[in-house]
Structure 1
Amino acid sequence: MGSDGESDQASGTSSDEVQSPVRVRMRNNHSRRICNEDINKRLSLPVDIRLPEGYLEKFAMNSPPFDKPLSRRLRRASLSEIGFGKLETYIKLDKLGEGTYATVYKGRSKLTDNLVALKEIRLEHEEGAPCTAIREVSLLKDLKHANIVTLHDIIHTDKCLTLVFEYLERDLKQYMDDCGSIMCVHNVKIFLFQLLRGLAYCHRRKVLHRDLKPQNLLINDRGELKLADFGLARAKSVPTKTYSNEVVTLWYRPPDVLLGSTEYSTPIDMWGVGCIFYEMITGRPLFPGSTVEDELHLIFRILGTPTEESWPGVSTSEEFRNYNFPRYRPEPLVNHAPRIDSDGDDLIIKLLQFAARQRISAEEALRHPYFKSLGEQVQQLSDTASIFSVKEIQLQKDPGKRTITYSESGELGR
């Protein structure tokens, strides 16, 4: 009796030609998946993208071999054919907020069926708007990190520039309000660690945020915190002397900038981190000043009026001398934040240093003993991995948490 191969030949067919419809379908699905992955990698697309009918075949015909890069023209044409850069690709839902030159809407992408945030920037309205928007776009398209909001798409028309961001359910201010301003101290630690991760990534790339505040830190239902609103950020070599000093929201603005310094670097963001840390653990802002003088007054009343010892060079500052502040003695921060432990107290003191160069960096802060209880694994995460990919890391129930449901429109229900 001959082998299987001989029997096939005797009947006039080879084993390669005898294939069940199931096997053919499996092979086609496999090649389609490989091709899909190929397109996603080459065009940097989201994994869950829905490619238009017949697009795979067209892309395979037009695209160069995988080891050769796509030309910019082909890449742009490919993205346009899929639906990127087109307003009709997104369904506008509710208005989330409005600023001087931009309106933000909740929307839905027809490409992925996911919710998105649509930031519409009016181009003819405000002279400074395009400049701020272009800065935000140019920075965000190069920042790929689990703790930085993702910019999915850019749509440009004559009257409007629309930035399409991933959608996150609330900001840190809303989260704290939902907790009745009493956050679980464990959750404070998880949020602070994520804030520092995103910031350390920016600072490694010489990007300063310059406008850190709870409203610019977005949080999704999983508890992932992401830096947003890079309109005031700059990508320049640091330190630099070219910035105006009117940049950071008053309550989170460091004293050196309040006194007119334009020579600042990454420490400008670290002061803001200290203020946000305090606000999360106490439920109230640390220095809620209404004017520059009032802000400095609040800072000095708690941290003590600076001296040459605590802030070298301060006595030569004309602005500082002109204010003629009373001589306040420093108060222990723990008196104002009784729930903070000794490691947390040490970290906040290192963040709230008068002299910018004495403030702890984001990279150093991540390795501070305060975070030891989160375990070693969180220190080894890749840039795009969520802290919650470590299975031991979970948010706990906040003690003041009200029972809140978020409807499809994003309105609160109780």
Structure 2
Amino acid sequence: MSLDNYHKLEKIGEGAHNPLLVATDVHPLTCAISSPFPSTLEKSLLKGTYGVVYKAKDINTGGIVALKKIRLEAEDEGVPSTSIREISLLKELSKDDNIVKLLDIVHSEAKLYLVFEFLDMDLKKYMDSLGEKDGLGPDMVKKFSYQLIKGIYFCHGHRILHRDLKPQNLLINKGGDLKIADFGLARAFGIPLRTYTHEVVTLWYRAPEVLLGSRHYSTAIDMWSVGCIVAEMATRQPLFPGDSEIDEIFRIFRVLGTPDEDVWPGVRSLPDYKPTFPQWSPINLGDVVKGLDADGMDLVAQTLVFDPAHRISAKRALRHPYFDTVNLAAA
């Protein structure tokens, strides 16, 4: 399909490399390549990691979609590797109900557009829209937590790490269902685990092994982020809102205690571990994370285990007693 099939409505946001647009889908979504986009840009909606996103309308069906615009650096360089990675991952993951669907790919001149289903709001904006005394409520926290972990389980089952989970990357549709978006940093992982870059995950949701410089990490980094997000949904406050890497590390240590070799075998050998770190004792997590029942607190505690090898997996988390009473119709 060509860009002529979409009419840009407004700019939703802008990422590190490109803007995000919202557009209207005009034809059944295929994969044609064609002429420039005839439209008038109104405003940006969201910020993503690798592109500008626009809201657009499908001229043929009247349906609303999201267009992620990728600028190609140079003709001889072609599509950026980060975009190719995201496209290939999204094609693989689009079958899951809790992952945002990639509907189409359009290549026009020096631009690449990824056409996604349009969702109304991200989790952060959703929480911010609630009154000061209002919260998501225990049923909604449980439902969103389940849908988040279910989507991550699907990713991990397809050997993919998301690596940038945060409330801004979790979208909520009109039916009150949560879907995981923005796979710009995602990586397929193999056995043995690869060496990865240090630049993963927004600071507040970053696992301690990443903060301490480990370049060998696994699905456990996503589960740490899940725990931080579940806690934030319950309290409406970020759990570890550090303003630098060292501040982030110390905020974690002040709550969970400073890890030693007994708690986390191998921690002293991590590149950024310092023997001079202050020695804090753990405090009761329930004093920090309020609004969860005993099962919910146990689930969060199992996601916030220092040793990645003992952190709960998405598969085990879905079977946790906390979800025995999950109501997927909660709204």
TM-score (norm: length of structure 1): 0.68
Distance 1:141 1:262 in 2: 27
CA deviation profile, 1:155-190 (whole Å, cap 9, x unmatched): 112310000000000000001101236221110000
**2:68 aligned residue:** 119
Among 79, 82, 85, which residue is 1:132 paired with? 82
Among 161, 171, 184, which residue is 1:208 paired with? 161
Query: Higher helix fraction: Structure 1 or Structure 2?
Result: 1
Distance 1:358 1:293 in 2: 24
Distance 2:164 2:136 in 1: 23
CA deviation profile, 1:307-358 (whole Å, cap 9, x unmatched): 2221112233352125x22111101111112211110111011000111111
Q: Does the 8 A contact of 1:206 with 1:238 survive in 2?
A: no
Distance 2:228 2:74 in 1: 34
Q: Does the 8 A contact of 1:101 with 1:129 survive in 2?
A: no
**2:281 aligned residue:** 329
Query: Higher strand fraction: Structure 1 or Structure 2?
Result: 2
Distance 1:260 1:317 in 2: 6
SS at match of 2:80: helix
* Displacement of 1:105: 1.5
Distance 2:270 2:188 in 1: 28
**1:350 aligned residue:** 302
1:58-207 pair list within 5 angstroms: 84=1, 86-111=2-27, 112-124=61-73, 130-143=80-93, 144-180=95-131, 182-207=135-160
1:357-368 pair list within 5 angstroms: 357-368=309-320
Q: Does the 8 A contact of 1:238 with 1:265 survive in 2?
A: no
1:264 corresponds to which letter in structure 2?
A: Y
Q: 1:288 to 1:106 in 2, by over 3 A?
A: same
CA deviation profile, 1:4-26 (whole Å, cap 9, x unmatched): xxxxxxxxxxxxxxxxxxxxxxx
2:190 corresponds to which letter in structure 1?
A: S
2:262 corresponds to which letter in structure 1?
A: E
**1:271 aligned residue:** 224
Distance 1:125 1:286 in 2: 42
CA deviation profile, 1:183-224 (whole Å, cap 9, x unmatched): 211100000000011100110110000000000001111011
Distance 1:117 1:152 in 2: 10
Among 203, 209, 212, which residue is 1:256 paired with? 209
CA deviation profile, 1:111-163 (whole Å, cap 9, x unmatched): 23211000111113798971111110011011111000000000112310000
**2:330 aligned residue:** 395
Q: 1:393 to 1:124 in 2, by over 3 A?
A: closer
Q: Does the 8 A contact of 2:160 with 2:187 survive in 1?
A: yes
Q: Does the 8 A contact of 2:21 with 2:68 survive in 1?
A: yes
Q: Does the 8 A contact of 2:195 with 2:217 survive in 1?
A: no
Distance 1:301 1:173 in 2: 25
**1:74 aligned residue:** none
Q: 1:251 to 1:125 in 2, by over 3 A?
A: farther
Distance 1:262 1:184 in 2: 38
1:278-289 pair list within 5 angstroms: 278-289=231-242
Q: Does the 8 A contact of 1:213 with 1:252 survive in 2?
A: yes
SS at match of 1:320: coil
1:299 correspondence with 2:249: no
CA deviation profile, 1:13-44 (whole Å, cap 9, x unmatched): xxxxxxxxxxxxxxxxxxxxxxxxxxxxxxxx
Larger CA deviation: 118-127 vs 158-167? 118-127
Q: 1:214 to 1:87 in 2, by over 3 A?
A: same
**1:26 aligned residue:** none
Q: 1:108 to 1:175 in 2, by over 3 A?
A: same
Distance 2:74 2:15 in 1: 12
Distance 1:341 1:308 in 2: 31
2:18 corresponds to which letter in structure 1?
A: A
**2:42 aligned residue:** none
Q: Does the 8 A contact of 1:123 with 1:158 survive in 2?
A: no
1:393 corresponds to which letter in structure 2?
A: L
Distance 1:348 1:134 in 2: 34
Aligned Cα root-mean-square deviation (Å): 1.8
Q: Give ranges in structure 1 of 5+ residues lacking alignment.
A: 1-83, 375-391, 397-414
After the TM superposition, list the runs of 4 or more consecutive aligned residues in structure 1 that deviate by more than 4 angstroms: 125-129
Identity across the alignment (%): 53
1:394 corresponds to which letter in structure 2?
A: A
Distance 2:244 2:79 in 1: 26
Among 321, 328, 339, which residue is 2:291 paired with? 339
**1:245 aligned residue:** 198
Larger CA deviation: 262-271 vs 305-314? 305-314
Distance 2:289 2:219 in 1: 26
Distance 1:280 1:133 in 2: 30
